[in-house]
Amino acid sequence: MSDMLTEIKVADEGREDAQKGADFLKRATSLRRARGGLFLTKPDGKTVAVELPAVLLRAVQSVLGRLAKTGDLLLLNKDAELSPEQAAKILGVSRPMVYHRMDSGRLPFRPVGTHRRVRLEDVLKLREFERQRREVSKALSEDTDDLETNYVQPTARAARR
């Protein structure tokens, strides 16, 4: 994928390690004046370390926490322009559905030669709109189900009146 979008996947056995790391960093960053960092051990046994400010440690904690929950993560630049394939991945729909949303005007895009590009901001707005719409539809459906269970068919005599 492009520089504006990075996909990270962790196998199931790595999710437990990600949770351990997230829990450790959460405790570490909650301490006042705590300092931390990352270290690597080279194949020759030498250790290389770098100190990081608490804000970056919290960012790493957030990434590890998400990876522990789902096993995969997309990191996006805020000003990213995405291809329809990338937008489809974020929206959780097929690429043809993204084109349909573009053609219907629900997802603004700009042509780039024979291709189309959409702004990340627009994709996220559409995702939130569709999430809210699904919640409203579900609530209406549950309300309608309640009406159907309480509905009593009028008798033939009452219907003649």
3-state secondary structure 22-91: HHHHHHHHHCCCCCEEEEEECCCCCEEEEEECHHHHHHHHHHHHHHHHHCEEEEECCCCEECHHHHHHHH
**pLDDT at residue 52 in the model:** 86
Q: Which of 24-28, 96-100, 137-141 is the most confident on average? A: 96-100
Whether the Cβ atoms of residue 37 and residue 23 lie closer than 8 Å to each other: no
| 157 found inside a domain | no
> Do 63 and 101 lie in a common domain?
no
3 DSSP assignment:
T
CA distances 6 to 50, 103, 109, 131, Å, are 23, 27, 21, 24
- Tell me the Cα Rg of the chain: 25
> Do 83 and 64 lie in a common domain?
no
Domain stops at, among 55, 77, 99: 77
* Cα 44 to Cα 88: distance, rounded to the nearest angstrom: 44
**Which comes out higher in pLDDT, residue 142 or 10?**
10
**Which comes out higher in pLDDT, residue 96 or 79?**
96
Q: Which residue type sits at 53? A: P
Residue 1: pLDDT band by 50, 70, 90 thresholds?
very low
Query: Mean pLDDT, the chain, as a whole number?
Result: 87
Residues spanned by the domain of 114: 79-149
pLDDT in tens, 139-153: 888 877 666 666 666
> What is this structure's pTM?
0.57
The answer on pLDDT for 70 being more than 60 is yes
The answer on pLDDT for 72 being more than 60 is yes
The share of the chain scoring above pLDDT 70, in percent, equals 86
> Do 24 and 96 lie in a common domain?
no
